[in-house]
């Protein structure tokens, strides 16, 4: 059983930055694919970014590519999402997720989820 706890959300002005963290416990983190998703009010939860445990390969949603960076520290069992040049449309609850697959880009591909952290970007 993998447990995930996100932190680092908050309120930031448009153009600002935030760094989200996800602490993982249980399982073998170094052999776990990890991802970030987000859900805005009234919308479906959507893929943001993912990182494989195989050579740390990364994939991003087109709307965040070039602004967000996903990374992991296997020694600390931690996942990060550096978010720069934030926009009001990035406002959402951000979720950390873990998969037993090397990587997944879809919600149903993940086996474990955190409780989410709120990110609000003001214009």
3-state secondary structure at position 59: strand
Closest CA to 93 of 28, 31, 43: 43
DSSP 27: S
Cβ atoms within 10 Å of 115's Cβ, excluding its own: 11
- 118 CB-near residues (< 8 Å, 6+ apart): 9, 10, 92, 93, 94
Question: What is the per-residue pLDDT across 35-75, written as a single tens digit (0 to 9) for each?
Answer: 999 999 999 999 999 999 989 999 999 999 999 999 999 99
36 within 8 A of 18, measured Cβ to Cβ: no
Question: What is the per-residue pLDDT across 15-40, written as a single tens digit (0 to 9) for each?
Answer: 999 999 999 999 899 899 999 999 99
């Amino acid at each position: 059983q993998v447990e995930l706890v996100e932190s680092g959300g908050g309120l930031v002005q448009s153009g600002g930055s935030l760094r989200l963290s996800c602490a993982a416990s249980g399982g073998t983190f170094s052999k776990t694919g990890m991802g970030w998703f987000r859900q805005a009010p009234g919308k479906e939860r959507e893929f943001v970014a993912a990182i494989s445990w195989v050579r740390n390969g990364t994939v991003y949603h087109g709307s965040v590519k070039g602004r967000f960076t996903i990374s992991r520290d296997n020694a600390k069992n931690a996942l990060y999402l550096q978010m720069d040049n934030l926009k009001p449309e990035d406002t959402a609850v951000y979720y950390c997720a873990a998969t037993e697959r090397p990587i997944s880009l879809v919600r149903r591909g993940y086996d474990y989820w955190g409780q989410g952290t709120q990110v609000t970007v003001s214009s």
